[in-house]
Amino acid sequence: MMTSIEKTIGDLLLQQKHMATTLLALLDSEHTALAERDEPSITAIASSKQQAVMQLEQLKKRCDNTLSQHGLSSGKNGIERLIQNSMHTAAERTALTQHWQQLKAELLKCQRQNQINGSIIAANRHRTRCALGILSAQSGSDDNLIYGENGESSIAMRITNYPSA
């Protein structure tokens, strides 16, 4: 039979896994919203993501506190030591190990999807800055303007001003 710490840690790992699954669903939704450029959804998802991350952090803190109260290191080292040393049967060890492995796998998926979404956001930001730079001619040089003050194409102005042979 599992001891109190094993049950508590197992429950906390399972709760973290469920919250990580929720976060992954939010990240997937964010990916879709980014692709569709759905600003209201992106804003709503950002708020939900923040709440999910905060809940994950709270669960991790509770797990770390429980480990510390029982003389174990916090985080990965404490959980792995608990798995190695505190289980009475192979079935109990397997159950806790599965919770731990599932949590790590789900968090890795979250990390990857977050990186993908971040890349999309960075690319969109770059395109927006380039477009704004073109429209506002941030370089300060009239040579870089596509259109002049009167709306004439700068290419046409250059051709007109090009000395003829």
* Residue 151's pLDDT band (cuts 50, 70, 90): low
The per-residue DSSP string of the chain comes to ---HHHHHHHHHHHHHHHHHHHHHHHHHHHHHHHHHT-HHHHHHHHHHHHHHHHHHHHHHHHHHHHHHHTT--SHHHHHHHHHHHH-SSHHHHHHHHHHHHHHHHHHHHHHHHHHHHHHHHHHHHHHHHHHHHHHHTTT--GGG-SB-TTS-BHHHHHHHHSPP-
For a pLDDT cut of 90, what percent of the chain falls above it? 60
Within-domain flag for 161: no
Provide mean pLDDT across the span 103-125.
93
pLDDT given for residue 93 in this prediction: 84
- Cα separation, 80 vs 84, in Å, equals 6
- The tens digit of pLDDT for each residue in 64-113 reads 999 999 999 999 999 999 998 876 678 878 889 999 999 999 999 999 99
> Looking at the 3D structure of the chain, how many domains does it have?
1
Question: What range defines the domain where residue 9 resides?
Answer: 4-138
Q: Decide if 144 is inside a domain.
A: no
CATH number at residue 134: 1.20.58.300
Is residue 89, in this structure, part of any structural domain at all?
yes
| For residue 160, pLDDT beyond 70 | no
Residue 146 falls within a domain, yes or no?
no
